[in-house]
Structure formats: structure tokens, C-alpha cells
Amino acid sequence: MIYKNSYFKKELRQAYMGNKISTNRKMASALFLGLFSFALYFVFQTLQESVLSDVVPEIMQPSFFSTIYLYIHIAVVFNIGYFIRYYHYLFFSEIRKNSWYLLIQMGYHPVIMLFSKFLALMYSVFLIYTVGFVVTIVLTFLLKYTFIVAYLPTLYFVGLADLLLITLLSMTFSLYAKTVINGRYWTFLTCVLIFVLKITLGQYAIITNRMFMQNIYTLFDLKLSLYWPIGAAIIIACCLICLFRSRNLAKYYNLPPDAAIMPAEVDLVEIDSRTGKKKLIGSMAKKGWRGRIVDTVTTIFLIAFICGALAFNLFILLINASSPGQEVTIRGVIPFVFSSRTMEPEIMINDLAYFQKIDVQYPIEERHIILFEENNVLYVERVISKTGNQLTVDIDNYPPMSQIGAMEKTVTRQAVHGVYSGRNRWLGALILFANTIVGRLLFLLVPAVLLFYQGQIYKYFKKDNKHEL
């Protein structure tokens, strides 16, 4: 491999930054990230009255903080996908293909090559991340939210630091991964590792707090979190490992996996010292087993996803089609999407509540929450008293300025369809999302496309794995 110019420019070309067309592609990627973050924010806004408002309020607020907070996480996911897809170009797998061997023999210094590769990749990452960040801010201006500058530098720094850590860890792992497939697995695990570290060390408690994020120095408060000292130690360790490991690997010439290093029709065997049994070793003994595993996992994942999505769609359709007297019943349980605040905090709005289907002999007691029918409409209220065949019911939560007891009513025992047995807030949010336009597309269109193109997808992974193992 001969380079007519500097190693840094060669790395820029491999990172798709060496010409105008590739630069435009990067700009398009940045614009897409900003638009996608903005669109995803609107999707979450349709789920305001769900469990997400309690669990992740930082992405549900009408503010610049929420849109940018979403963006920095989407940027990490995008770059992980980018790293995995172009792993063999971006990281040190080229050393095992002897791309550095001749360069070092020609006088290139490994330290310069190492940092040129890292800087070229970070230049590409930095450009996409920064432009996408600006696009997200500009789009958020359209919503006329209160513009608070204080937390913008902090959020920008957090997202860029995550990308720096992921890049360095991926480059380090690539020095030990013997195949591209294994290297891609490690690249994905770097994202998981950083996510776990941030949760374990309390960094997410700082990042999700708008007041803390208005002061960038709060990130480095060791009383709140030790994440940044540990992150700095990881960066230094990765740089040192990359420096020494890459220099040592580049000294040796690696034979290709299919190189003929033994005479034809000769197999290499290992003899167990205890049993005396012979075991075939070498490339032929392991040929194709990784590819078969990946093929099997890919097929199982596609089948599971398609079947799960279709089953969930059927479940949604059944719930939406249910009517008084014809409610959906699954193993004696009536699922009911609760659409009001009248029973808070026992049942929150948009929760999926479960009611045990009962007959007229089932004993209903005071304080039970029941599902009953009145004037061909289903209601959920609590039993406050019982007189013979008559049940007096009322709601738990009255709106402010309302007269307590105004919703109290009497129903007959025969009108009761079920007794409350529990709820699932996450399933309720998922059903709420599935009833949006985006949800319909995701749960109906995507499985249909995967089902139609599953053969091509399978062949693509099979071909890719066969080529790279």
C-alpha cells in the first residue's frame, strides 16, 4: 500500500472526509441526526400522560434541554452504528492485514500513525456531532421555548466526551480482536460499558438534572460522582495500550487465514496427554462455526421480532375493538386501558389495568375497584358500600374545585364485569405509542418489510460474515 501524501490525509479519506462528496455526506448525516432527534421529541410528547413522564422527565419537558438531551444520546447510537458498519476501515483491524507493516519498514513512525488515525476519526465524529447539535438547537427555536444558554455547553461537552471514550475504547479493543465480527461485538459493548459506568457512578443523576447542568463544573464535583476521574484514567490507559500494542503488532507480518503454510492434504492434530485421543486443530477444524452461529442468531431474532410485533398488533386491535359485554378476556383477565385520572394514584392515566373476570357468585367487598357497565359505557370505580344486590361506588380522585361525592352512584351486582387485580404502566405507554402514526408504522410496516425481505437480509449477513471471518 503506497500513499502519495500524509498518513493523516489517508485516514481522512478512509473516514470519508477527503473530498467534497464525502463532506456533503457527513453534513447530510448531521442534518438527519438533528431532524431525527426533533421528530423523536415530538413522538415522546404524544406520550406525556404515561409512565415516561415519571421515569424520564428530562426528555418529556417543553425545553431546549429535552431536545438536546435526546440528541446527545442519539448521536452516540448513530456513531456506534457507524463504527460497527465501517469497523474494518476505522480501527486497527488493518494492522492484522499488514497495512502498517510495510509503512513502518518505509520509515513511518508508529506514534504518528496512531495519533493520525485517532485524530482523523475524531475529526469526522466531531464534525457530525457539532453540526447536528447546532441543527437541533435551531429546530428547537421553532417551538418558542425559553432559551437558556447555561446548560448548552455542559450538554455539548457530555455528548462529545462520550464519543471520545467510545472511540478510544473501540480502538483499544480492535487491537485484541482477531476478527472483524468480534471487533464489532466489542464496539457495541463499549457503549454498554459507558452507560453502566454512568449509572453506577451517579453521573446520570447529574446529567438529568437541569439545575446541575447549568454549571459545567458540577460534572467534576467528586462528592457527586467519580465518573470523570475514572473516565480520564480510561483515556490515558487506552492511549498507552494503543501506543505499545499497535507498535508491537505492526512489527510482525500476519499470514492470511487461508495461506498455505502446510503441504496439501496434511492435517494438524493435537494429542491429549491423558487420553491419547487425537483432535483436529487449525483453520479447517474451526471453519465456519462463527458464521453459522451468527446466521442462526440473525434468523431467530428476525423470527422473534416479526412474531412479537404481529402478536402485539393483534393484541392492540382486540383491545381497541372491545366493547361493553364483549371485552377481551385472556386467561380470565380483562385488559383495560385506563384513560382518565379518576382513580389516581391507584391507577394512573393510560395504564393497562387488569381486571379479573367474575361471575355473579363472586364475593365483592368494600374497597374493591370494579369494572362495570352503565348505559352501554364501561366505568372503573371503587366500592364504598354494599347493600344486598346494590353497590355504591365512587371515584378516588376528584379534580380541584370539584364537589367530593358528586360522582357517587349505585350499580347492580349484575352490571359488574371484573375486579381490579393489577396494572402495567409500561405496557400502557407501549399501547399508547402503538396507536400513534409512528407506532402504527413501526409495528405494522417494519414487520411486513422484514417478512418480505428476510431472505435478502439473511443472505446479506451470511455473505458479510463469510467474507470477514
- pLDDT, tens digit, for every residue of 253-284? 555 555 555 565 666 666 665 566 666 655 44
d(CA 168, CA 91): 10
Banded pLDDT at 11 (limits 50, 70, 90)? low
Are 65 and 151 contacting, i.e. CB atoms less than 8 angstroms apart?
A: yes
Out of 2.10.109.10, 1.20.140.160, 1.10.3720.10, 3.20.20.70, select the CATH number for domain 322-434. 2.10.109.10
d(CA 32, CA 14): 21
HSE-CB at 173 with a 13 A cutoff on CA atoms is: 25
pLDDT beyond 50 at 162? yes
The arithmetic mean of pLDDT across residues 200-223, rounded, is 90
pLDDT higher at 92 or 289: 92
d(CA 337, CA 317): 13
Q: Which long-range contacts (CB under 8 A, 24 or more apart) does 430-437 make?
A: 430/312, 431/316, 431/319, 431/337, 431/350, 431/352, 432/46, 432/47, 432/49, 432/50, 432/337, 432/350, 433/43, 433/46, 433/47, 434/312, 434/313, 434/316, 435/316, 435/320, 436/43, 436/46
Banded pLDDT at 135 (limits 50, 70, 90)? very high
Q: Which residues contact residue 430 at a Cβ distance below 8 angstroms, ignoring those fewer than 6 apart?
A: 312
pLDDT tens for 398-437 read 988 888 888 889 999 888 999 999 999 998 888 888 888 8
What residue segments make up the domains of the chain, in order of their start? 7-254, 322-434
The arithmetic mean of pLDDT across residues 158-173, rounded, is 91
pLDDT beyond 50 at 16? no
Least confident of 324-333, 351-360, 387-396: 324-333
pLDDT for 227: 92
pLDDT for 368: 93
d(CA 260, CA 264): 8
- The amino acid that residue 88 corresponds to is H
d(CA 52, CA 47): 7
pLDDT for 186: 86
pLDDT beyond 70 at 9? no
Provide the 10 A C-beta neighbour count for residue 393: 23
pLDDT for 423: 92
- Beta 352-357 vs 278-281: how paired, if at all? unpaired
pLDDT beyond 90 at 155? yes
pLDDT beyond 60 at 337? yes
H-helix or E-strand spanning residue 195:
helix 180-200
Residue 370 corresponds to which cell in the numbers above?
370494579
The arithmetic mean of pLDDT across residues 173-182, rounded, is 80
pLDDT for 440: 78
* 367 conformational bin, left if phi > 0, alpha if psi -120 to 50, beta if neither: left
Are 30 and 127 contacting, i.e. CB atoms less than 8 angstroms apart?
A: yes
> Nearest 5°: phi and psi at 86?
-110, 35
Are 100 and 110 contacting, i.e. CB atoms less than 8 angstroms apart?
A: yes
Residue 300 corresponds to which cell in the numbers above?
431467530
Q: The pTM is what?
A: 0.77
